[in-house]
A = this chain, B = another copy of it.
Amino acid sequence: MTDDRSSAFVPGHVTAFFSAHPDEVVHAAGSRGAGVTISDGVTVTVDPVAEPGETPTQTVNGESTTIEPVTLVLSKLDVDARVAIETDLPLGAGFGVSGAAALGTALAAADALEAGRSENDLIRTAHAAEIEAGTGLGDVVAQARGGIPIRLEPGAPGYGALDGVPATARIEYVTFGELSTESVLADDTADLSAAGERALTTVEADPTLETLMDASRTFAREAGLLVPPVAEAIDLVDDVGGEASMAMLGRTVFALGTGLSDAGYDPTVCRVHPGGSRVCGTDDTAE
């Protein structure tokens, strides 16, 4: 460990609906849509490799692994570092962990090295890494903002445009397993994107959490993404008068308030995250 290491926290992001917007300019590519950032997230600690012969490594909860967008961020920033990722969120289940890992790596690396890059610059770097890796389209810009982000226009700062739903809520979620973002995005997304555009129009006209949840359920149905355990949980929450939908893209159901508890599930409980991503700092700034 050197004295230069720094860490950053990035909230998880559950996408409620989206439309895909590919573009040859990587910073302009992305998605439109809306979702909820949650207080469960990802903490990334970056420890620049100072000694010759030290090997850059990546770990997730202590296990050695490689997350492609993290590797790409380090490459774009020209940093050799040990990256330690800690998270309670399930991987591949629709919480934007890869985007959070990429953004957290960019923020912590820039702070550790006093790189003199602005937050927009670092968000662009992480967004580009996600797009190039094919692991996400809109998580990074949503996670940087926090709250309940509406992605009005696709892309990184300088291209995209964001708004938000002014609300908060207790959030519950259950996960039934992984769903590959890459495989869904590799299919023809024309019908999915048309459904996503309709959902966005609905939420822009009435930016409330209830309308967002309703638009998300309609999107999941129209886009043909519902799988049996997810559809069943959404129906059971509806039966008890709650609001639930599917996290895009994962076999995950999220609900407002006590919806999943009331329906008999044993969910993980968190909240809408009040802020966006943030540098947590080095030892000397953490006092």
Contact = CB atoms under 8 A, between A and B. Distances in A.
Interface in A242-287: 257-258, 273-276, 278-281, 284-287
Pick from A107, A258, A274, A281 the residue with the most CB of B within 10 Å. Answer: A274
Contact of A122 (B121, B166, B168, B280): B166
* 9 nearest CB pairs, A to B: A275-B275, A119-B164, A118-B207, A274-B278, A120-B163, A168-B281, A118-B163, A116-B206, A119-B166
B120 A287 contact: no
Contacts of A168: 278-281, 285-286
A176 to B, nearest CB: 26
A170 B206 contact: no
Given A116-B206, A116-B208, A275-B274, A107 B146 contact: no
B119 A163 contact: yes
Given A274-B278, A278-B275, A165 B207 contact: no
A116 B207 contact: yes
A287 B258 CA distance: 10
A95 to B, nearest CB: 19
Nearest to A209: B285
Nearest to A11: B275
Contacts of A128: none
Contacts of A281: 167-169
Interface in A117-169: 117-122, 146-147, 150, 157, 163-169
A278 B9 CA distance: 18
Pick from A114, A168, A286 the residue with the most CB of B within 10 Å. Answer: A168
Contacts of A101: none
Contacts of A119: 147, 163-166, 207
Nearest to A144: B164
9 contacts: A116-B207, A117-B166, A118-B166, A119-B207, A122-B166, A157-B163, A168-B280, A168-B285, A275-B278
A110 interface: yes
